[in-house]
């Protein structure tokens, strides 16, 4: 294991613990025996040059790509065998690098869709509009509005989501994911396509998600300034394998990491 590990305090019981994850597509090893842990209550970044396997790691954690071998534990429970929707219900929710906003729905409906697993009533109740249904819908709506408020989109609740500008669609995805009350929020390159002002606001928001809403955050990001500013802990992937892990300062000083990045002309 790299030296950087010695510098960072080992987290006591990680919320997410990926052990020896291997993902192969045909002959290509996208991930090889990769370990990755996210401590409870932290913002943990996963960085690495292009093609290092960051998004594959995210896909493997959320169940969108099957593990060839390895182990994924959330709060100690094995989730590697669960389909994506069950992992979401267990508390792992993500956003997408290429926006996946539900463009045909309003902003509010998008966020309410985020509460799918938490809004519980039968189909019959929704057709008959029972009092229980009305209560659950009202609660869902309120929680969704609260999430919109949190990311600063409350004024856009009734806007068709497809009409939002790009930066706001990114925020909407974040609100939608937060609405699911995740234990672990995974953000896949949330700053992609944002200008520097928007990126700075995003950084504040990510910290607020962790500090004020007490949601653990996993962050895959290319923007090093953002990563260094918001992360408590960083893991560096290189060719599908962890190269180093530690605090932002330790990572910035790690010669292997510098070599990997300079070699790739980042």
Partner 1 sequence: MKRPILGQNAAQAVLFFALLLAVPYGLPNEYYLSICILGSLNAVIAVGLNLLMGYAGQVSLGHAAFYGLGAYATAICTTRFGLPIPVGMAAGVTLAAAVAWIVALPTLKLKGNYLAMATLGFGIIVSIVFNEAVDLTGGPSGFVGIPRLALFGHTFESDHGYYNLMAVVLTLVVLLALNLMKSRTGRALRALHVSEKAASSLGVDIAAHKRFVFVLSAALAGLAGVLYAHYLSFIAPASFGFSFSVQLVVMVVLGGMASVWGSVAGAFFLTALPEALREFEDIDILVYGAILVLTIMYLPDGLAGGIKRLSRKLRRTGVDDARS
Which stretches of the chain bind partner 1, using CB under 8 A? Answer: 62, 64, 83-86, 88-89, 93-94, 96, 100-105, 109-110, 112-117, 119, 121, 123, 126-129, 133, 137, 140, 176-177, 180
Strand pairing report for 28-38 and 233-238:
unpaired
Q: How far is the CB of 25 from partner 1 (least distance, A)?
A: 17
Q: How far is the CB of 125 from partner 1 (least distance, A)?
A: 8
- In the complex, least distance from residue 239 CB atom to partner 1, rounded to whole angstroms: 26
Q: How far, in Å, CA of 8 to CA of 71, rounded?
A: 23
Nearest CA among 138, 131, 89, 83 for reference residue 112: 138
Q: Which is nearer to partner 1, 92 or 243 (CB)?
A: 92
DSSP conformational letter for 157: T
CA–CA dist 54, 77 (Å, integer): 23
Q: How far apart are alpha carbons 76 and 265 in whole angstroms?
A: 39
Q: Which residues, 6 or more positions from 196, have their beta carbon under 8 angstroms from its beta carbon?
A: none
Of residues 6 and 77, the one with the C-beta less far from partner 1: 77
The minimum distance between CB 189 and partner 1, in angstroms, equals 15
| CB-nearer residue toward partner 1: 133 or 239 | 133
Closest distance of CB 94 from partner 1, Å = 5
Q: Which of 87, 84, 99 lies closest to 187, judged by CA?
A: 99
Q: Which is nearer to partner 1, 127 or 262 (CB)?
A: 127
DSSP calls for 180-243: T--SEEEEESTTTT--HHHHHHHHHHHHHHHHTS--EEEEE-S-HHHHHHH-SEEEEEETTEEE
Q: Are 139 and 147 in contact (CB under 8 A)?
A: no
Of 103 and 252, the one with the shorter C-beta distance to partner 1 is: 103
Based on CB atoms, which residue is closest to partner 1, 129 or 212? 129
Q: How far is the CB of 180 from partner 1 (least distance, A)?
A: 6
Nearer to partner 1, 64 or 224 (CB): 64
Q: How far is the CB of 123 from partner 1 (least distance, A)?
A: 6
Q: How far is the CB of 236 from partner 1 (least distance, A)?
A: 25
Nearest 5°: phi and psi at 154? Answer: -60, -35
Q: Which is nearer to partner 1, 62 or 235 (CB)?
A: 62
15: its two tokens: 């919320």
Which one, of 113, 114, 103, 107, lies nearest residue 158 by Cα?
Answer: 107
In eight-state DSSP terms, residue 151 is H
């Amino acid at each position: 294991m790299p030296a950087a590990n010695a510098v960072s305090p080992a987290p006591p019981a990680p919320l997410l613990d990926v052990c020896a994850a291997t993902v192969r597509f045909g002959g290509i090893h996208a991930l090889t025996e990769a370990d990755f842990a996210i401590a409870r209550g932290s913002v943990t970044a996963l960085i690495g040059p292009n093609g290092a396997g960051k998004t594959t790691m995210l896909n493997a954690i959320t169940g969108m790509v099957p593990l060839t071998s390895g182990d994924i534990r959330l709060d100690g429970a094995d989730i590697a065998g669960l389909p994506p929707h069950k992992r979401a219900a267990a508390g792992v929710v993500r956003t997408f690098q290429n926006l996946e906003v539900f463009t045909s729905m309003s902003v509010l409906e998008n966020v309410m869709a985020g509460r799918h697993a938490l809004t519980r009533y039968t189909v019959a109740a929704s057709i008959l509009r029972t009092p229980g249904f009305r209560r659950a819908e009202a609660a869902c709506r309120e929680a969704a509005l609260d999430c919109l408020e949190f990311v600063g989109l409350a004024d856009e609740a009734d806007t068709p989501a497809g009409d939002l500008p790009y930066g706001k669609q990114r925020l909407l995805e974040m609100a939608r994911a937060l609405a699911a009350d995740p234990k672990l929020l995974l953000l896949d390159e949330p700053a992609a396509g944002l200008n520097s002002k928007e990126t700075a606001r995003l950084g504040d928001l990510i910290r607020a998600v962790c500090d004020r809403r007490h949601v653990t955050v996993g962050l895959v990001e290319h923007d090093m300034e953002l990563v260094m500013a918001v992360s408590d802990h960083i893991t560096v992937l290189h060719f599908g394998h962890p190269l180093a892990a530690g605090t932002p300062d330790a990572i910035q000083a790690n010669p292997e990491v510098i070599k990997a990045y300079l070699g790739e002309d980042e």
